[in-house]
Amino acid sequence: MNRHTFAFAGALIASAALSACNATEDEPLPGEPGNAVEQVAPGAAPAITPAATPIPDASHAVPVDNPDAPSPTTGGDGSDLVLTPLTAADLSGITLAGELACSFSQSAGGPSLMLARGDVADAAGRASFAVKIGSYVEQGLALQDGGYDAMLDGGRFGTRGLTLTVRKVGAAARSGGESPPRTAELLAQRGDGAERVFAGFWTCGP
């Protein structure tokens, strides 16, 4: 090989080395922007960036119990306290002793939620009554002596596991007649803590 040939071969080798170096510098590294496919070692799981946990704002706050809400009517077993109007069939199957009656209804002249009877001028006697709890008719007695006269302005009555109080008896809803309905409330209290108030009318007379 003469001197000119040797110089030409050296120039070719230097040019190839310079091109390889430039190509390496221009190639993006794995994981850098512009690298279309990230190289993952065989058998290794790809890295996962955990998502940021959002911070709830005031509009998504968890509601709290309203302290002004009325007390629930359910008792210890979770059931509602339900009184059902007495039907004609219900009344035909019960016997209430007494000369005159008082009844509580949710509308003037409507069916009775409770019906009680007692004797007039019976200072030592107690009125008897009937009430329909759900679908069952129960009978009981007034919790105070005095018969019919003692319940003209309301009163307390008791049966198995239930106490009924007729209270806030007002003026007659209409004038005239022997048995004018009077505005009143019926408080029903069950032995397991359930209670409920019914608004309506207390009617006493023949």
* pTM score, whole prediction: 0.64
> Which tokens in the block code for residue 165?
């109080």
Phi, psi of 202 (to 5 degrees): -110, 120
| C-alpha distances out from residue 104 to 83, 95, 140, Å | 11, 18, 15
C-alpha–C-alpha distance, residues 206 and 185, integer Å: 21
Instruction: From 178, 206, 198, 205, select the one nearest 131 (Cα to Cα).
Output: 198
Whether 77 has a pLDDT exceeding 70, the answer reads yes
Residue 59 vs residue 114, higher pLDDT = 114
Which residue type does 124 have? A
Instruction: Give the mean pLDDT of 135-162.
Output: 96
pLDDT (mean) for 81-101:
95
pLDDT band at 42 (very low <50, low <70, confident <90, very high): low
Alpha helices in the chain (DSSP H): 3-26, 88-92
Q: What is the pLDDT of residues 9-29, one digit of tens each?
A: 444 444 444 444 444 444 544
Task: Report the percentage of the chain scoring pLDDT > 70.
Answer: 63
DSSP assignment letter at 85: P
> Taking a C-beta distance cutoff of 8 angstroms, is the pair 168, 149 a contact?
no
